[in-house]
Amino acid sequence: KMRRFLLSFVLGIFHLASVCNPAKIPSFFALPRPRSKEKLASLTERLLAAKAESGKTFDEIANELGLTNAYTCQIFLGQAQITPEMAVKLKAALPKIKDEDIRIIMSPPMRTFDSDIIKEPNVYRTYEAIMHYGEAIKMLINEQCGDGIMSAIDFYLTVGTTTGALGERRVVLTFNGKFLPHIQQDSDRATIE
């Protein structure tokens, strides 16, 4: 009974700490991510409702958080994890986000996508552009950096706009990924002793 009491007491202290200052929450107290599409959609819906109520754009929230606008969107879509320090900033930027939802997005996400997303015209056209220019992109990366790839883990993406020569609005996507060279697979380095 004493153990149960102590555990309840400690959990209560961490709950109070989370309400007062989410940065004080140890990462092991983050709530598990929802696995079902319906629960993830519900989390996203609640996060987007808090954003809508604030009247802020993703760019404005990203500036308050010190993140890229694309990464900020990923947080709202349940595709990125926030640190305890970021939890404090997010709660300050959007006070209507529930503490429970803050704790959920502090846990590692199941990074995935809905396969139907490719049918959305904006996504399809971006995919088409990457596929059309893919070989040229590969050749330029290899020419400028050597034999290797662009990381999608150590990676920054920003979405912006500019004005074209004829005054038209244009979309600017910036992919900024660390170059990862392929290695020569020397046999003396292939095993661990």
Q: Which residues are catalytic?
A: 125, 128, 151
Residues 151 and 110: their CA atoms lie apart, in Å, by 19
DSSP class per residue in 173-187: EEEEEEEEE-----G
CA gap 104, 35 in Å, rounded: 12
Picking from 109, 128, 124, the residue whose alpha carbon sits closest to that of residue 39 is: 109
Asked if 150 and 180 count as a contact pair (C-beta separation under 8 A), the reply is yes
Rg (CA), the chain: 21
Q: Any alpha helices (H) in the chain, and if so which ranges?
A: 2-20, 37-54, 58-65, 69-76, 84-93, 99-104, 121-145
